[in-house]
Structure 1
Amino acid sequence: MLIVHHWDTDGITSAALVIKALRLEDFMNLSPPIGEFRLDERIRKAIEKSEKIYILDLNLVHEVEGIEKEIIFIDHHIQPRIKNPKVKQINPALEGNEAPSASFVVSSYFSLWNAWSALGVIGDIGSKAFEIPKVGELLEKEGLTKEEALRLVQLIDSNYIVMERESVEKAVGILLSSTLRELLEYEPWIKNVEAIEKAIQDAFSSVELKEGFAFIEFTSSFNIISKIARKAVWEVGYKGAIVVNRDFHGKGQIYFRISHELKERINMGKIIGALKEKGFNAGGKSEVLGCVCERDRISEALEIINAHLR
């Protein structure tokens, strides 16, 4: 059994939920290269050796169309239907419904709910998750406060933010073998968080504003681009944030997040489609898009986004 999952808290908790639900002992879990929405050679070789594959919280529809293996594809992002008959696609978005996280889709599919289900939501939508009654119920059952839940997400996410792919994959096993209270004191993740917080503070010191939208440009080897966008929209209260990392391990990173109130006015799926038509590696959902590109194509990608905003 192979489980391929996103590198963030939602992907990690979704993988742990699948393993627990199926009571798996013989499995391998892998994450794509951090920040890149693709199946690399390492994952493709693992797919060749696997009998059954789960792909979780990864909007990689085009990547699975040609794979001749049994695949369970669980997601919550905006995406077309998969034509490959070998793939079972489980996504409420296909029917026009929304799920706050892949962890909620996994939990619903397997009828297995615990605090991991809630952490996946918190990882994806932050404090707004606490407005969902189910999230509060699951945390209360575990005896976790809102602050502790937010801290756990921060700790789990630290693995991908410092760009340690192996640590992301190991995090699934750590989650399975530890109590959540133990994880709150897990020293390697605490050290990650301290380094990340300093990098975010440095990047956020150069914000430009245009009509309520924040434009933030920086350079860092840490994958902090989504955290900066969330801080700008969720904490500071900007309408939206376009964040650019000009040199992320030799690539350009673009992250665009809008406030919940603008979701009906800005068609994020259309912008993602326009980027893909031009050959950009882009993905996302109704409130956010991420794009990785060559550094000399950053301006082109930004122009596509700005054209839709105009």
Structure 2
Amino acid sequence: MDNEIWLSMESLWDILTAGSVFIVFHWDADGIASAAILLKMLGERIVGFYPPRVGVYSLEALPWRRISESRASVLTVLDYGLPGTAYEDLSDIVAPRSVAVLDHHLVEPPRSRGRGVLHYVNPVAQGLGGEEDWPATSFLVYSIPGVGEACDARRCSWLAAVGIVGDLGPVIEARPRVYGTAARLTGKSGYSLRDIAKVVELIDSCYRLLDEECIVHAAQLLGWASGPRDVLDDNRLSRAAEEAAKALRTAMDRVRYLFQRHGIIAYYVESDA
């Protein structure tokens, strides 16, 4: 394995602040919160941010036209969960631009840089910890040396908790260590995990509607928000949550019983969202 692809946390910030950055981020709460932290920290260095096509995990799903038009020097991919071979290919495709990947999913890591410049940070894939240590990519971004301190000073550590609560949901209460981490991050900003759960429900409504522009809006909103209240009071996200709830009710009304066999009950449902 080419050890040079493993970018140290200390070096990561140097890469991200060396030029202009385009962010590709997963469409759920963790990806959105991860992007929002970088938006707060990097400001005008970020020349674009957009999710891949919702529900699709492949390089083809990336927003290629936007990436090309941005002319960013660093393409940063957050929380997307692709295997390492995909990032080797991505590095080849976008060269001479750099590719920086931050993730916490258990995937096969890259084995080489390819022909491009690939910086890969995924402690779980690298065998440097498990989900208890790295429960969300937002927490990984927050843990970059200097970022956590800056977030604490700006009362934005709650963003790291958004990713944790978003990924684990109610299960977080059965994970004392992770629950404690999320509560500590939220408490630093003076909010509760109940506030964070409400934020997650709102921003996750966007991907449930397959609405990529809503996802971008959520990331931008979290990027400038002073706290959860700015998110909870947002009209666009409130409408999205109402639409998602309506779509779910409609889908449930269409559920059709198929069969019960060997302890398994099968139903059929069809929905656009």
Q: TM-score, normalised by structure 2?
A: 0.72
Q: How does 1:57-76 map to 2 (within 5 A)?
A: 57-60=79-82, 61-66=84-89, 67=91, 68=95, 69-76=97-104
Larger mean Cα displacement after TM superposition, 16-25 or 27-36: 16-25
Corresponding residue for 1:158?
A: 205
Cα deviation per residue 1:272-302 (whole Å; 9 max; x = unaligned)?
Answer: xxxxxxxxxxxxxxxxxxxxxxxxxxxxxxx
Corresponding residue for 1:78?
A: 106
- Kept in 2: contact 1:161–1:196 (CA 8 A): yes
One-letter identity of the residue aligned with 1:93 = V
- Kept in 1: contact 2:109–2:126 (CA 8 A): no
How far apart, CA to CA, are the structure 1 residues paired with 2:135 and 2:49?
A: 23
Say which structure, 1 or 2, has more relative contact order (CA 8 Å, 6+ apart): 2
Q: How does 1:1-310 map to 2 (within 5 A)?
A: 1-40=21-60, 43-48=63-68, 49-60=71-82, 61-66=84-89, 67=91, 68=95, 69-82=97-110, 83-84=112-113, 86-96=117-127, 97-98=129-130, 99-113=134-148, 114-130=157-173, 131=176, 132=178, 133-179=180-226, 180-204=228-252, 206=255, 217-222=268-273
Number of residue pairs aligned between Structure 1 and Structure 2: 222
How far apart, CA to CA, are the structure 2 residues paired with 1:134 and 1:198?
A: 34
- Structure 1 residue 212 displacement after superposition: 7.6
How far apart, CA to CA, are the structure 2 residues paired with 1:214 and 1:51?
A: 52
CA 1:42–1:9: 2 relative to 1, 3 Å: closer
CA 1:129–1:142: 2 relative to 1, 3 Å: farther
- Kept in 1: contact 2:25–2:51 (CA 8 A): yes
CA 1:182–1:216: 2 relative to 1, 3 Å: farther
- Kept in 2: contact 1:4–1:54 (CA 8 A): yes
Cα deviation per residue 1:48-100 (whole Å; 9 max; x = unaligned)?
Answer: 43211110000233433223231110111121121225211111122332221
Cα deviation per residue 1:7-34 (whole Å; 9 max; x = unaligned)?
Answer: 1110011011123233444420011111
- Could you list the runs of 4 or more consecutive aligned residues of structure 1 that deviate by over 6 angstroms after TM superposition? 207-214
How far apart, CA to CA, are the structure 2 residues paired with 1:11 and 1:47?
A: 17
CA 1:157–1:41: 2 relative to 1, 3 Å: closer
Structure 2 unaligned blocks of 5 or more: 1-20, 149-156
Structure 1 unaligned blocks of 5 or more: 223-310
- Greater per-residue strand proportion: 1
Q: TM-score, normalised by structure 1?
A: 0.64
- Kept in 2: contact 1:81–1:94 (CA 8 A): yes
Cα deviation per residue 1:185-234 (whole Å; 9 max; x = unaligned)?
Answer: 11221122122223334445648777787755421111xxxxxxxxxxxx
- Kept in 1: contact 2:24–2:62 (CA 8 A): no
Aligned with 2:147: secondary structure?
Answer: coil
- Structure 1 residue 44 displacement after superposition: 2.6
Aligned with 2:172: secondary structure?
Answer: helix
- Kept in 2: contact 1:152–1:183 (CA 8 A): yes
Aligned with 1:93: secondary structure?
Answer: coil
Aligned residues with identical type, % of pairs = 26
How far apart, CA to CA, are the structure 1 residues paired with 2:262 and 2:238?
A: 37
One-letter identity of the residue aligned with 2:77 = I
How far apart, CA to CA, are the structure 1 residues paired with 2:147 and 2:186?
A: 14
- Structure 1 residue 151 displacement after superposition: 0.8
Corresponding residue for 2:10?
A: none
Aligned with 2:63: secondary structure?
Answer: helix
